[in-house]
Amino acid sequence: MDALALRERMVGRLKAAGTIRSPAVERALRAVPRHAFIPNVPMEEAYADGVVFVKAHAGLTISSASQPTMIALMLEQLEVAPGSRILEIGTGSGYNAALLAHLTGPNGFVTTVELEADLAGAAQHALALFGTANVRVVTGDGSGGYPGDGPYDREIVTACALDIAPAWWEQLRDGGRLVVPLALDQVQRSIAFERDGSLLRSASVIDCAFVALRGSAAQTPHAAGDRAMAIASGTMHVTAMRRNAIDPAVLARAEIVLERAATIFAIGSRRA
């Protein structure tokens, strides 16, 4: 089966499962050839509904091409409008950046930041071959975002974070949306936050599984083991794993908004 037929089969499978909900995301997934961004795997594997490992270090995976189901779900969470300015943290293969570029169109712009210089270079090459002109690939620590192209209408993080980096908040336009996989206790949740002045309110929450974010954000005082959060029965629990891991004064100022939408709790919290 050729690449086009495999891509059509992939999209058909995602539509049948209800993963693709919008015509814009469907068009993007039909238009962008996934195999062009992960050229060292068999064609069938490139369009299977699985993760493709891109780079490992010391026996640990540090970059992967996400499962198409997860990509589609997060793109639906992001709700890209034509002409949007988008920040992506974690370029990886460049496939997701190409999808974002298609979604925002020629009047929009995508800035994608990758910590690994070789991955950034390979992604830039693949994007150029595909003819994507409205993407800037930046080599650097995504924890700091990229203020030069901000403020952004949309931001998406493609690795699991322990917290929301201040730069992502500061570079997000009021009314803009941030989609980020967060580690909450023993699980990961991809949460879509909308900025409302000094507040981030979540619009949706889905289960996910990502490699850990690397860079300075992985070294924050909120590193793994310092705190855990869990949501159950409409209540958010914050547990400190060591003394002074959480400032009670900051917690007292926090505004937690829980709204039930079907079986999903939406969470919003005021920045300290």
What does the pLDDT average to over 156-184?
91
pLDDT tens across 60-86, in order? 655 667 889 989 999 999 999 999 999
Segments making up each domain of the chain, as ranges: 73-270
Q: What is the mean pLDDT of the chain?
A: 81
pLDDT bin (cut points 50, 70, 90) of residue 99 is very high
Q: Are 137 and 159 in contact (CB under 8 A)?
A: no
Q: Give the integer Cα–Cα distance in Å for 110 and 32.
A: 15
DSSP secondary structure of 19-73 = ---SHHHHHHHHHS-GGGTSTTS-HHHHTSSS-EEEEEETTEEEEEEPPHHHHHH
The residues that are catalytic are 63
CATH topology of domain 73-270: Rossmann fold (3.40.50)
pLDDT bin (cut points 50, 70, 90) of residue 50 is confident
Instruction: Look up the pTM and report it.
Output: 0.80
